[in-house]
Amino acid sequence: MDLFDEIDESQSLKLAEGSTLLRGFALCEQATMLKDLHAVVTLAPFRHMVTPGGFTMSVAMTNCGDLGWVTDKKGYRYDALDPLTGKPWPAMPASFMALARAAAKLAGYSEFTPDACLINRYQVGARMSLHQDKNERDFNQPIVSVSLGVSAVFQLGGFERADKAVKLPLYHGDVVVWGGDSRLRYHGVLPLKVSHHPAFGEYRINLTFRKAG
Ligand code: MD6
Ligand code: FE
């Protein structure tokens, strides 16, 4: 954990009450995380899920950990089983858990132990419309969000969908710890632009760690 503890404090930026951007915090673990990500998606492949409204999401998703976030015609929820395989989601890799806990700790959440990791994969044009994360049991628990690969523009909004959103570029290795008063802010991701990352190709990968159950 020494590498994590030595992060330059100047790389830690308060975005809003309760949310902190840690620029480049995941860089030191990227090789292990890429290897572990491959193992997870071999067991639980990326898929495009369908919203309750019947739209197929442009972002491909999978999960690891005890619980996984899913959506289908019946609604949004967490489930212990992958609906594609009928099996439990792959275990959360130790490298993922360590990174999430270290980032949360640095942002002031020393007790964070995620039980779910939603993995989003964006390709050119994929986007995430403004939403709130409300399927978790306890909104006092933060969410740790890790961005890898192609950079994207994150929208950080207010507490109503129509509130003006601030645009924030997120780069390979950036981590946002999202809690406290910011936990229920609307947020989204603008359509991914054409780009290339040496390790992740045309894709942006986003990992969000949650204590869902
Ligand atoms: C993404 N992130 O960055 C989408 N949700 O691809 C999220 O939807 C998100 O970054 C809750 C907390 C942090 C996030
Ligand atoms: Fe979200």
Mean pLDDT over 53-80 rounds to 98
CB atoms closer than 10 angstroms to residue 145: 25
Quote the crossing angle between the two packed helices 30-43 and 94-106, to the nearest 10°. Answer: 130
Whether the model clears a pTM of 0.85, i.e. scores above it, the answer is yes
Q: Kindly report the protein residue whose alpha carbon is nearest to atom 8 of ligand 1.
A: 188
Mutation pick for ligand 1 pocket among 71, 134, 145 (CB with most ligand atoms within 8 Å): 145
Assess whether pLDDT exceeds 80 at residue 59.
yes
Q: What is the per-residue pLDDT across 147-191, written as a single tens digit (0 to 9) for each?
A: 999 999 999 999 999 999 999 999 999 999 999 989 999 999 999
Instruction: Walk me through the domains of the chain, giving residue ranges and CATH numbers.
Output: 13-210 (2.60.120.590)
| Residue 3, pLDDT above cutoff 60 | no
Our separate counts of H helices and E strands in the chain read: 3, 13
pLDDT score of 187: 97
Asked whether the predicted pLDDT for residue 1 surpasses 50, the reply is: no
What's the CA-to-centroid distance between 9 and ligand 2, angstroms?
Answer: 26
Q: How far is the CA of 41 from the centre of ligand 1 (A)?
A: 19
What average pLDDT score do residues 89-117 get? Answer: 97
Q: Whose CA is nearest to atom 12 of ligand 1?
A: 143
Region 10-27: mean pLDDT is 90
Ligand closest to the CA atom of residue 151: 1
CA of 191 to the centre of ligand 1 (A): 14
Angstrom distance (rounded) from CA 78 to CA 164: 29
Ligand 1 centroid from CA 188, angstroms = 7
Average pLDDT over residues 187-205: 98
CA 16 to centroid of ligand 2, rounded, Å:
16
Ligand 1 binding pocket (C-beta < 6 A) is 120, 128, 133, 143, 145, 154, 176, 178, 187, 189, 206, 208
Best residue among 20, 153, 206, 209 to mutate for probing ligand 1's pocket (most ligand atoms within 8 Å of CB) is: 206
Statement: residue 99 has pLDDT above 60: yes
Rounded CA separation 14/185 (Å): 15
Rounded to 10 degrees, what is the CA torsion of 61, 201, 171, 125?
A: -60
What is the tens place of the pLDDT at every residue in 122-154? 999 999 999 999 999 999 999 999 999 999 999
